[in-house]
Amino acid sequence: MLNLRKYIVALVFLTGVWGNISVAFASSRVKDIADFEGVRENQLIGYGLVVGLNGTGDNIKSINFAKESIISMLDNIGVNARDGQLKAKNIAAVMVTASLPPFARQGTRIDVVVSAMGDAKNLQGGTLVATPLIAANGEVYAVAQGQIATSSVSAVAGNTSVSKGVPTSGRIANGAIIENEVNFEFDSLDKITIALRNPDFTTARRVSNAINAMLGEMKAKALDPATVEVNVPQQYKDNLVALMTNIEQLQVEPDQTARVVIDESSGIIVIGKDVKINKLAIAQGNLTIKITEVPFVAEPLPFTNGETVVGATSVIDVNEDVDSKLSVLDTGVNLQELVDGLNALGVTPRDLISILQAIKASGALQADIEVI
């Protein structure tokens, strides 16, 4: 018997499972299901050095790029370290990453993540020296510097070590100052492009219809399942923020494809509300074969030269569940009826996965099965 606490069946009723649930309850704001083209973050990356570590930095004898970085940094501040033997263990080469928010202005601060690249053991308490952060176009958009917090604990005593969290990665809150802005002429736009996060023809059309109803004129058009284009009306030419605010707050009911998602590693099953099946019969039974080894000891007869023999006898027990039933499910049953029918068979979550896959293979399941 499977451990039912380990496997969880997640039954997701997205919309319309109960007849008394209104459409408004299932609707979502446009801002929760779509993004506006051009309003997005940009990824930044940089390479730098962390100093001030308590002997937990890189071994510069084996990490050549760390050694070269130290020499280059010292050269930049007028210190010649090329003629000496560097043995510092308080310095680590790191990769610095950050996200540049949309419309971020010069002088504002953003958080950065610092991760060790070499064999540094711990970045706790170290200080990141000034590190330029560049975008995909090679331009510098921010400079990061500050003390690192790893939110981890690490201790070593003799041959025993204890570590909690990841000491080789940390954050610097407000650790980068934006030096360059992303040029985007927002107010000069004549069209607004809306990108759906889950592309769907029906949802795209509902979004365009909701926008046209709000504007009172045909200004929005669904170009494809993922894109809705809006021509900016004359009254919003000088106030594009107001138009986007009004569009964001519109309520739209997203549509979805009938789908069953199965995670075989954890036994989780998610069934969409539009899943239907044709009429079929299902039988579920368990055949259990149990093999046990029974040890025995054979002693020789008295006054003989025999030897004591130790062995084992195999015992095979075959058990078939006699309570297995054949159940008939009618055509077009919905999610609730499907689950009720399968529960009537007494199936476990692991059995339910196999049954759903078998129903799909028979062509009776009117839904997609996605195994993750």
pLDDT per residue over 46-95, tens digit each?
Answer: 999 999 888 888 887 777 777 777 777 777 777 766 666 666 788 888 99
Cα separation, 366 vs 372, in Å, equals: 19
Cα separation, 85 vs 125, in Å, equals: 25
Does this model's pTM top 0.75? My answer is: no
202 HSE (CA, 13 A, CB side): 5
Say which amino acid occupies 247: I
Burial profile 286-307: b = 16 or more Cβ within 10 angstroms, e = fewer: eeeeeeeeeeeeeeeeeeeeee
Per-residue pLDDT reduced to its tens digit, 226-269: 999 999 999 898 888 899 999 999 999 998 888 888 887 777 78
| Strand arrangement of the beta sheet that strand 259-263 belongs to | 9-11, 268-271, 259-263, 368-371
Per-residue pLDDT reduced to its tens digit, 19-49: 333 334 468 999 999 999 888 889 999 999 9
Taking every pair of Cα atoms in the chain, the longest distance, rounded to a whole number of angstroms, is 116
Q: Give a three-class secondary structure readout of 121-157.
A: CCCCCCEEEEEEEECCCCCEEEEEEEECECCCEEEEE
Extract the tokens encoding 284: 């579920």
Cα separation, 2 vs 321, in Å, equals: 15
Please give the C-alpha separations between residue 183 and each of 98, 143, 321, in angstroms, as whole numbers.
19, 18, 70
Q: Where are the alpha helices (DSSP H) in 178-278?
A: 201-215, 240-248
Please give the C-alpha separations between residue 45 and each of 92, 209, 283, 345, in angstroms, as whole numbers.
17, 41, 57, 55
Per-residue pLDDT reduced to its tens digit, 152-208: 776 666 667 676 778 889 999 999 999 998 877 777 788 999 999 999 999 999 999
